[in-house]
Homo-oligomer: A and B are copies of this chain.
Amino acid sequence: MGNIRLGELVERFGGQLAGEPDIAVSGIAPLDSADASQLTFLSNSRLRSQAEASRAAALILSPADDEILAATYAGARIVTPNPYAYFARVAQWFEKQREIPAAAGVHPLACVDQTARLAPTASIGPYVTIEAEAEIADGVVIGAGSFVGRGAKIGANTRLAPRVTFHAGCVIGENGIIHSGAVIGTEGFGFANDAGKWIKIPQTGRVVCGNDVQIGANTTIDRGTLDDTVIEDGVKLDNQIQVGHNCHIGAHSAAAGCVGIAGSATIGKHCMLGGAAMIGGHLTIADGVFVTAASSVMNSIKEPGQYTSIFPLTQHKEWERTAAMLRNIKSMRDRIRELEKKIKDQN
């Protein structure tokens, strides 16, 4: 664990320090658990009273919260417009100090084709297979048991966790992370039906990911059929996500666990897909759309905003009654019509 003085911290990460710059901190922790050697942060004003009670050496907070807390808060304060992002960057710094870097070079138990191009600073773990003509840039880490197919390209400082599959011809940019069990570039689900039997359509496109892309554990992304499947810069995909062939996910969009995106869907930039949201094939989702968890999108969405499709949860007995009435909603509508007609006839 590294220590850092508050003065050095604001030099590195910005923000205005109110307090003694020579105080050193050894880590960052939530409001209720930070001790006197640690930093903490207030990212939600409703926790202001919890912040006041914190024992932390210093508090990261917004200008608005600082106006209220400045007079009474005993410890040091670092004022910054986005305390949560500040926390993330400081936490990354502490993490970096304690990290044990992967050893550069190829593990003797790895199997690397002689035509693959590996930067000397790349780290290739045991039981890794790297096929012909793959390109592995500087600072890349390939975890134990991973597979990199023929001609695939891994950009600088991108990290593959153990047991990743990165198929032939696929591309990922710099500073990416692919978690264990992910499969990038499978042949997508393309078949022509001929008299009841399925004829396979070859899938010859690639998966092309930009920079700063994170792909979760056991997530799968299919290669394009003829064109490529595209994941733009800064996209974050959680675990167990399925992305079909020819999808296009816009920059800085994020999808939580268990999301499914059917083939040829286009997701805009800065979208958020809640966990287990399902996006139908060949749809277009505008920039800035937020799909609530467990919701299903069957048509394109043209306007930003939050969209939802969840049957409300109730006790099972009540659900049975509600579901039965929903099945009969047409008869309710018809009875209303009938009543309206009768009333009208009366008058």
- Write the residues of chain A forming the contact surface with B, with a CB cutoff of 8 angstroms: 29-30, 33, 43, 82, 84-85, 87-89, 91-92, 94-95, 100, 107, 109, 111, 125-127, 129, 143-145, 147, 149-150, 161-163, 165, 167, 177, 179-181, 183, 186-187, 189, 191-202, 204, 212, 214, 216-218, 220, 222, 226, 234, 236, 238-240, 242, 244, 252, 254, 256-258, 260, 262, 270, 275-276, 278, 280-281, 292-299, 305-316, 319-327, 329-330, 332-333, 335-336, 339-340, 342-343, 346
Contact = CB atoms under 8 A, between A and B. Distances in A.
B330 A329 contact: no
B313 A299 contact: yes
A151 to B, nearest CB: 10
Contact of A88 (B199, B252, B306): B199
B144 A144 contact: no
Given A29-B226, A100-B150, 19 more contacts: A82-B194, A84-B193, A92-B199, A92-B200, A145-B145, A165-B180, A183-B239, A189-B236, A198-B254, A217-B222, A257-B262, A280-B293, A295-B313, A298-B313, A309-B311, A309-B313, A314-B327, A335-B336, A342-B343
18 contacts: A91-B202, A111-B126, A127-B127, A163-B165, A163-B183, A179-B187, A197-B234, A240-B240, A276-B276, A305-B315, A306-B316, A309-B312, A310-B319, A310-B323, A312-B326, A322-B329, A325-B333, A343-B343
B336 A192 contact: no
Given A147-B162, A242-B257, A252 B189 contact: no
B161 A186 contact: yes
Given A218-B218, A293-B296, A236 B198 contact: yes
B192 A82 contact: yes
Of listed A29, A147, A325, residue having the most chain B CB within 10 A: A147
Of listed A126, A275, A313, residue having the most chain B CB within 10 A: A313
A30 B204 CA distance: 13
Contacts of A319: 292, 307-310
A232 B203 CA distance: 24
Nearest to A233: B197
Contacts of A313: 295-299, 307-309
A196 B311 CA distance: 30
Of listed A111, A294, A322, A330, residue having the most chain B CB within 10 A: A294
B239 A186 contact: yes
Contacts of A145: 127, 129, 145, 147, 163
B322 A327 contact: yes
Given A111-B127, A165-B181, A314 B308 contact: yes
Contacts of A95: 202, 204
B220 A240 contact: yes
Contacts of A183: 163, 179-181, 217-218, 239
A160 to B, nearest CB: 12
Given A145-B129, A189-B238, A196-B270, A258 B260 contact: yes
B316 A201 contact: no
